[in-house]
Amino acid sequence: MDRRQTREALRLLESHQPFVRASVVKTTGSVPGKLGASMIIRADGSTMGTVGGAALEEEVKALAAQAFTSRAGDLYHFDLQAWTPGGLPSLCGGSVEIALEFVTARPNLLLWGGGHVALALATLLPTLEYDYSVADDRPDWVGAERFPTADRREVVDPERLWDVFEPESFTHLYLLGYDAMKDLEVLAHSIERFPNAIGLIASAAKREHMYSKLRERGISREALARVRSPVGLDLGAESPPEIAVSIVAEIVAERHPTIVRTAARDARASEESKNAVSRTP
């Protein structure tokens, strides 16, 4: 294990940046990257380490770019034989298998409003090693005694939120405020500046009123469409702790995408399979 890569992987995790780790897991014959050779590929395409260089490494970097899009890695086989069909332009003569692991950005949440839902989230997030900060314009609601595990606790007016925080440093922004007009101001200043997921707790009436006001300010429907409201997975949550669980569940589901199997889904899959067979000539 390369200590420099381990330190870099830790730095990327701590700074909430995704990356891909490529590792040589099997070799046959003569190859440039020996068993265990590894490389980190960052989101901007820059790298640390090597799995063999030349055309092999360029192929791995291209596959890593796909992994950032699909948010999933895979195992790949490469023949380093220029004279064989599908072989890389290499004269090494051997073959290699490389595993690509997509490491998603560790969540870092900014919670606007230090109320009951924020307090419930503050109980759950540290157990998952998710980071969070809290902002509110009420000093009594963001104190260290209320949020002892928060990275930052800031008393700030809604209009100045991004004067105090760096938008790019957070993976999620949740508007959990106590005042609809202040939530409106935070959203108005965030919709164009905050690049990642935005969640808004609001009733249907409150949400429509806010969106109407924002459209009057020139914010398009397309921009508003990226706001998640209601927030969290649809678990039927009602109380603040239940809402917090639904929010965390949604983040977990996004970090580890999978197909949830249900009886209805299995029945549809079976019917589609039968139809596919009946259409086969």
pLDDT of residue 91: 67
120 has a pLDDT exceeding 70 = yes
Instruction: Quickly tell me which residue has 């957070």 as its tokens.
Output: 170
- pLDDT range class, residue 83, cuts 50, 70, 90: low
Query: What pairs with residue 23 in β-bridges?
Result: 38, 99
128 has a pLDDT exceeding 90 = yes
Coil, strand or helix: which one is 101?
Answer: strand
- pLDDT range class, residue 31, cuts 50, 70, 90: confident
Distance between CA atoms of residues 211 and 226, nearest Å: 12
pLDDT of residue 54: 79
* Topology at the third CATH level for domain 108-255: Rossmann fold (3.40.50)
DSSP 77: E
Provide mean pLDDT across the span 56-60.
Answer: 89
- For the chain, residues classed under CATH 3.40.50.720 are 108-255
Distance between CA atoms of residues 159 and 234, nearest Å: 31
